[in-house]
């Protein structure tokens, strides 16, 4: 393609400034740069580098996350939008930097995935987006749902969704609405985890504890119920609570707490529950995962003992 060596430097500089110093081949040509000039700049050891086919970074060194976001959007083309973990990071909702950048494009478009860019053709493009300069992200409910659909391990889905709800990053109702309205493909684990969270489950290990209880056909407890005394004073909010037996179960350990002070507070909470007549069981995440027969037997025996006592009235 012909190009004038006296290309429009101001247009090139403005494009680079607006796009995190990332530019597509077509944009460089539109600024009057010749093919030879572009190849010369992006030569090995040159001042530019090729990020992905047809997309260049006008500087040396490792690209930043915003630069890779921009490259993904330029590759996917006009109207594309970041989703999944890339969108969650861009929106400041997670701190882990994405390895792959998921981009939504209309189903009629044909860009392919390449390098760190994963393109998803969809007939359900988001109605609203959040823009940061030239970069665009789906809204949090779609980002969380698409991220969950990309996982193959239910622990990852539990960790993502439970944290989102606990931190108030995304209301449970909004996630449920996104599940109903969005793609059903790869949504089974998301549907399962949303049901858990709706029942009060708030962490990965609590979800595993719930699975154990159901597999053992134990009575279903209430999760994270708020227990009040007869006077209305708050007593505790145990991980699991069997009201008829007056039994509570907590799933935590020193390794899951931030400091010895956190562990001490946990022990004081257990003692306070016991002082109100609650039978408190304590299990570690390791026991939940590796000694399930003993955990099940302990719960079953304790529920039987609790049910034989006079009814507990908090």
> Rounded to an integer, what distance in angstroms lies between the CA atom of residue 191 and that of residue 264?
36
Q: What is the dihedral of CA 24, 25, 28, 34, to 10 degrees?
A: 170
pTM of the full predicted structure?
Answer: 0.79
**Average predicted confidence (pLDDT) for the chain:** 91
pLDDT value, residue 166: 86
Q: What are residue 29's DSSP bridge partners?
A: none
pLDDT one-digit tens code per residue, 34-76:
999 999 999 999 999 999 999 999 999 999 999 999 999 999 9
**How crowded is residue 272: how many other Cβ atoms within 10 Å of its Cβ?**
13
pLDDT one-digit tens code per residue, 143-182:
999 999 999 999 999 999 989 998 999 999 999 999 998 8
pLDDT average, residue stretch 250-276: 73
pLDDT value, residue 1: 39
pLDDT average, residue stretch 69-86: 97
Instruction: Report the b/e string of 155-188 with b at 16+ CB within 10 A.
Output: ebbbbbbbbbbeeebbeeebbbebbeebeeeebe
């Amino acid at each position: 393609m012909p190009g004038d060596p006296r290309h429009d430097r101001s247009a090139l500089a403005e494009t680079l400034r607006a796009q995190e110093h990332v530019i597509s081949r077509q944009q460089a040509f539109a600024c009057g740069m010749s093919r030879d000039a572009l190849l010369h700049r992006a030569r090995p050891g040159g001042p530019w580098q090729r990020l992905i086919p047809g997309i260049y970074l006008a500087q040396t060194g490792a690209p930043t996350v915003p630069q890779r976001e921009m490259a993904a959007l330029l590759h996917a083309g006009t109207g594309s939008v970041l989703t999944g973990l890339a969108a969650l990071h861009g929106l400041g909702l997670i701190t882990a930097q994405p390895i792959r950048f998921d981009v939504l494009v209309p189903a009629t478009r044909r860009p392919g995935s390449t390098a760190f860019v994963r393109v998803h053709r969809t007939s359900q493009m988001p109605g609203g987006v959040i823009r940061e300069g030239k970069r665009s992200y789906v809204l949090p409910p779609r980002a969380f749902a698409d991220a969950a659909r990309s996982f193959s391990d239910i622990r990852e889905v539990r960790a993502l969704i439970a944290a989102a709800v606990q931190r108030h990053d995304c209301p449970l109702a909004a996630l449920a609405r996104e599940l109903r309205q969005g793609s059903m493909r790869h949504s089974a684990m998301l549907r399962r985890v949303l049901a858990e969270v709706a029942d009060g489950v708030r962490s990965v290990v609590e979800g595993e504890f719930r699975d154990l209880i159901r597999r053992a056909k134990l009575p279903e407890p209430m999760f994270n119920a708020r227990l009040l005394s007869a006077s209305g004073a708050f007593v505790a909010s145990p991980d699991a609570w069997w009201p008829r037996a007056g039994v509570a179960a907590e799933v935590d350990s020193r390794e899951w707490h931030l400091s010895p002070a956190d562990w001490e507070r946990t022990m004081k909470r257990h003692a306070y529950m016991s002082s109100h007549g609650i039978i408190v069981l304590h299990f570690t995440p390791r026991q939940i995962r590796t000694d399930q027969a003993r955990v099940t037997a302990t719960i079953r025996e304790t529920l039987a003992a609790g049910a034989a006592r006079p009814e507990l009235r908090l």
